[in-house]
């Protein structure tokens, strides 16, 4: 082969290789690692929960055959919701504004089922639990569902979604055969439920109201549990923007503080509560947010770090304060503690979480022997309250059985869960104790 030919071949290869390198340089796209600006990091502390697990009725009242029956048992409530999840709710129109006495007529009418929630429930958020046949749901909430078992036509039956504080009622229609079957089932099972009695509260400043309380004394189990702690560092890693920059200081014998340049998390080892505050996102009260936004953000926030360490359920919401509360439940009843050891509290700004206060422990091993406590009848509790000279019936909203959580006096790793009556008075849950008259504050304000 001639020298010139070899030279031409080598030159051609070099030119081709140079062109290939140039093409690779032009088309190369490096894989940059972008910083994760998500506020809550991908950390799973315990479990996640969906809406159907967190938002449940507190009580169901059956007004059947001129009698009154009720249940707070989770199994009964779940069975009712399971049946209702098979229904199609349609023709939800605009709200009707009713007077308090008109709403009471609906909720107490014979052959109705009154499903009572602890706080307001947004339609938009609950559409995954009940099937609404509507492209657009009302931008509103309800705290009671009333199923009319009597006044039905061949074509439809009426189910009302009621916001008691606002006096708003949204009527919907369902298949009458579904409701007819529920009426038969309710009449068959009514004697399985506790019998309730109606009590009229004569208002001093407002209208008269009727509340329903169980007739019999309540025999409730009394528990003790050994608790398990979650390392607060897990919450630090989940909540702070850059956990590596967080400083830890001992500020009191029982309190540690985690801080960065914008947030603070206090850890109280005497109550086992963390209190995370983001001062730069301070909430502004008096400017209501959309209900579904506040509650959905609260659920999503805890889900993002798997923060459901125990059986917590939605219990209260204030759209003016942008506040939500999820309460610990045990054996069908809410658990209360005056220091906040039994609930998860969230306060929101317009953009981000402002305050997140919660326990960092969960109940684990039950300590035998299990005891029982006999509580007086609901009527006895109500009569005792009405005898108080400064008691205002207008301020009484509800009376129910709950558990008082306290630490064991001899072993702080054991919690005592003692059953007691509680009543919602002026927006606060208060423990009733006949020996202590009006009782003490029970955990929520």
Residues 339 and 381 in one domain: no
156 — pLDDT class (breaks 50, 70, 90): confident
Question: Residue 37: what pLDDT?
Answer: 42
Written as one string, the DSSP assignment of 202-244 is --SSS--EEEEEESS-EEEEEEEEEEEEPPHHHHHHHHSS-GG
- Domain assignment present for residue 212? The answer is no
Q: Do 336 and 405 form a contact (C-beta atoms < 8 A)?
A: yes
Of the three residues 362, 389, 409, the one that is the final residue of a domain is 362
Question: For 12, what's the count of Cα atoms within 13 Å in the CB-facing half-sphere?
Answer: 6
Same domain, residue pair 233 and 314: yes
pLDDT in tens, 58-91: 999 999 999 999 999 999 999 999 999 999 999 9
Q: Say yes or no: 62 and 130 in one domain.
A: yes
The answer as to whether 41 is a domain residue is: no
**Beta carbons within 8 Å of 48's beta carbon, 6+ residues apart:** 303, 306, 308
CA distance 425 to 423: 6
State residue 380 phi and psi, 5-degree precision: -65, -40
Dihedral of alpha carbons 87, 91, 92, 95, sign: negative
Separation CA 419–CA 187 (nearest Å): 30
**Does 245 share its domain with 356?**
yes
User: What's the mean pLDDT in 138-151?
Assistant: 92
Q: State the chain's maximal CA–CA distance in angstroms.
A: 122
What is the number of residues in the chain?
A: 445
Q: What is the pLDDT of residues 341-359, one digit of tens each?
A: 999 999 998 778 999 999 9
Shared-domain flag, residues 251 and 317: yes
Domain boundary among the residues 324, 340, 362 is at: 362
Is 247 part of a structural domain of the chain? yes
Q: How confident is the model at residue 288 (pLDDT cuts 50, 70, 90)?
A: low
pLDDT for 93 equals 82
Range of the domain at 350: 226-362
Together in a domain, 66 and 185: yes
Domain count, the chain: 3
Asked which of 317, 345, 362 is the last residue of a domain, the reply is: 362
Question: Per residue in 302-320, pLDDT tens?
Answer: 999 999 999 999 999 998 8
H or E stretch at 299: helix 291-304
Which SS3 state, helix, strand or coil, does residue 250 take?
Answer: strand
Strands 396-407 and 333-336: parallel
Looking at the structure, do residues 353 and 424 belong to the same domain, yes or no?
A: no
Q: What mean pLDDT is predicted for residues 394-405?
A: 96
pLDDT of residue 434: 65
Phi and psi dihedrals of 321, rounded to 5?
A: -90, -10
């Amino acid at each position: 082969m001639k020298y010139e030919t070899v030279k031409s071949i080598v030159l051609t290869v070099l030119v081709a290789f140079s062109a290939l390198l140039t093409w690779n340089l032009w088309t190369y796209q490096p894989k940059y690692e972008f910083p994760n600006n998500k506020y809550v990091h991908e950390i799973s502390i315990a479990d996640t929960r969906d809406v159907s697990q967190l938002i449940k009725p507190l009580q169901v009242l059956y007004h059947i055959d001129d009698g009154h029956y009720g249940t707070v048992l989770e199994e009964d409530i779940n069975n009712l919701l399971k049946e209702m999840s098979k229904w199609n709710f349609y023709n939800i129109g605009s709200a009707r504004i009713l007077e308090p006495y008109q709403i009471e007529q609906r909720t107490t009418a014979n052959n109705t089922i009154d499903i009572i929630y602890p706080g307001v429930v947004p339609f938009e958020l609950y559409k995954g639990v009940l099937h609404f046949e509507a492209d657009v749901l009302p931008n509103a909430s309800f705290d009671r569902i009333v199923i009319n078992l009597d006044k039905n036509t061949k074509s439809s039956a009426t189910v009302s979604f009621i916001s008691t504080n606002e006096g708003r009622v949204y009527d919907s229609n369902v298949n009458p055969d579904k409701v007819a079957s529920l009426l038969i089932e309710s009449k068959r099972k009514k004697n399985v439920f506790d019998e309730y009695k109606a009590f009229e509260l004569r208002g001093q400043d407002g209208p008269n109201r009727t509340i329903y309380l169980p007739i019999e004394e309540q025999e409730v189990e009394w528990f003790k549990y050994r608790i398990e702690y979650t390392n607060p560092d897990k919450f630090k890693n989940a909540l702070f923007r850059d956990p590596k920059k967080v400083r830890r200081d001992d500020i009191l014998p029982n309190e540690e503080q985690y801080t960065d340049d914008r947030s603070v998390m206090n850890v109280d080892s005497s109550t086992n509560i963390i209190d995370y505050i983001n001062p730069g996102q301070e909430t502004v009260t008096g400017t209501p947010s959309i209900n579904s936004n506040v509650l959905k953000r609260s659920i999503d926030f805890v889900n993002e770090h798997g923060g459901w360490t125990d059986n917590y359920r939605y219990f209260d919401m204030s759209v003016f304060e942008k506040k939500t509360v999820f309460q610990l439940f045990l054996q069908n009843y809410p658990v209360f503690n005056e220091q906040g050891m039994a609930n998860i509290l969230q306060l929101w700004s317009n953009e981000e979480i402002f305050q997140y206060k919660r326990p960092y422990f969960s109940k684990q091993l039950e300590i035998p022997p299990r005891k029982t406590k006999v509580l007086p009848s609901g009527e006895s509790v109500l009569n005792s309250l009405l005898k108080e000279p400064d008691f205002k019936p207008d301020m009484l909203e509800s009376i129910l059985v709950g558990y008082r959580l306290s630490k064991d006096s001899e072993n702080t790793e054991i919690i005592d869960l003692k059953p007691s009556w509680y009543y919602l008075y002026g927006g606060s849950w208060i423990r009733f104790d006949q020996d202590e008259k009006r009782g003490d504050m029970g955990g929520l304000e």
